[in-house]
Structure 1
Amino acid sequence: MTTATAPAPPLSGRDAYRDELTRLAAEDPAIVCLEADLGGKGHPFQAAHPDRFFNLGIAEGAMIDMAAGLAVAGYKPFVSTFAPFAALRAAESLKLTLGYLAAGVTVVAPYAGVSGAWFGTTHHCLEDLAVLRSIPGVAVAAPYGEQETRAVVRAAAASGQPHYIRTGRNAGYRSLPTEGTELPPVTWEFHGEPGASCLVSVGEEGTRLALEARALRPELAHAHLGYLDHVHLAASAAELAAGHRRFTVIEEHRQEGGAAEALALLLPGCEVVGVNAGHGWPTQGGDHHEVLGQLGLDLPAVLAALPPR
């Protein structure tokens, strides 16, 4: 009698990125990997392709500038550092490299939101979507789960266009099922009845909370958005509006500059309610979910924002 083997637990977003990029680089010699002292001693890309791995230390702006030069020279640079140091500390370099030059650089930003938790406010980033969404021409992605992360990394490598990919820290999730190997503008976990209120989830924690809410309110529709830049959101908005009129958008981000605010502008005939990290600052330590709770982004907040049954 054979014993079924349990599936391996999913990789976190940052580990899925490293593994997928290492695989892609085996077939594409143009791919190079730059890190700002995040790789540690066991970075798979460094082990497999040491001549194409560069650790720039805590010099994030210089890392983005170097990636711009590599892109102009015909390479496909992927750079990674903590989200606050990519989107905020290196914001000027991002604007010039990804926006003005439209260089084919992909920025992968783990520790987004408050996934850094105990690291404190210096290592939290609830403003990155606002910054990157305001730079024209950048594909902005917040994948949920290992398979979505891999799909977004593959798409970035194939496109040669500027990308910003935000992930959490260590949480591993199984992606929602989709058809094909590409990440669509909208992934429907549940379509619901026409006109039903619809949950719209963004990123890892937004999607986790939406799935928890749906377990308690199974009549709700649930649409997950993997891409958050204006071009992708415009396509997503059209698809959302085809079947629903009230949306509750859940995202680990500030109210300003997030997906809910963008969708409200794109869906003027609909009601859009946002559940987000608000305007507070965590004043105590804790794990990721505890810090989210301090900011008012938890399951009770989601349920309170929903219409009555």
Structure 2
Amino acid sequence: MKTNQKWKVLGLCLLLPWTAAHAQVEVNVSGAQVAARPIAILPVQGDPGVKMDYIIASDLHKTGLFQPLDPKSFPENPASPAALQYPAWKQAGADYVVMGMMQGANAGQFVLNDVNSANQLANENLHDADARQLAHQTADWILYRLTGKRGVFGTQLAYVLEQGGAKGARRYSLLVSDVDGANRREIYSSNEPILSPSWAPNGQAVAFVTYANHHAQVVIQNIGGGSRVVAQGDGISSAPAFSPDGNYLAFVQSENNNPDIYLLNLASGAKSRLTDHAAIDTEPAFSPDGNYIYFTSDRSGS
């Protein structure tokens, strides 16, 4: 994304009749049923005690595309891929068998075997921050090798926890965790509400909305510590969204009770107003290539 780029802003307007807006909404989702593929995840040799096989199996099971076998049904626990007895695994009902051997604290060799063809499909050396993250990365690798789809098991969640305190006081915490909820840690807390957490593309910061002296403000909190207020005012400051390259932040701010879309250059601090309309403009979102910003608005049009 270039700093001298002309920004294209597209508004999306949704007008609903009063009766439709107040009617009960019921959504039914249906589609083709895909049989889950039976897969065996063997205990990882040299596992430092985090149960890597369980993490990998749990990740794959969450996709709905795989049915991990119960370890109690495993016919063997071979020491190497060459010792794998394919007929025994076929009888056990497995389509695939995954083996792993740790090579240090945060690296390992992982082998994906096809039981029906009695062949090794893939062999990969992987490494990550620690054994737990390595297990998530391995699940992503298996998913990609068997489906061509990129996984999200190596990513993190950002969410807000609200807790009650003495005499009705409330405490709000911005938490991050692994995608399965493990390794939860607090990166920001406040006695005022925290809203709309949004990840930076590099995964090293989260933008969100909170309040100070009863005024909304947009804050960027670094995962490793340290934060800065990037937008605040007497009116609304809300809905932060990073550009795909992480160099810009789009958000909503109101002047004279008129919410509009603004763009902040995170390096220079320069702020640009992208919309100027009497309608309510909100919820900006960048296109994947970063050339457009979409937003919702209650303005009318044809």
- Shorter-chain TM-score bucket reads under 0.3
TM-score by length of 2: 0.24
- Give the TM-score normalised by structure 1: 0.24
Q: Determine which structure has the larger strand proportion and give its number.
A: 2
Higher helix share: 1
Q: Larger Rg: 1 or 2? A: 2
Determine which structure has greater relative contact order: mean sequence separation of CA pairs < 8 Å that are 6+ residues apart, divided by chain length.
1
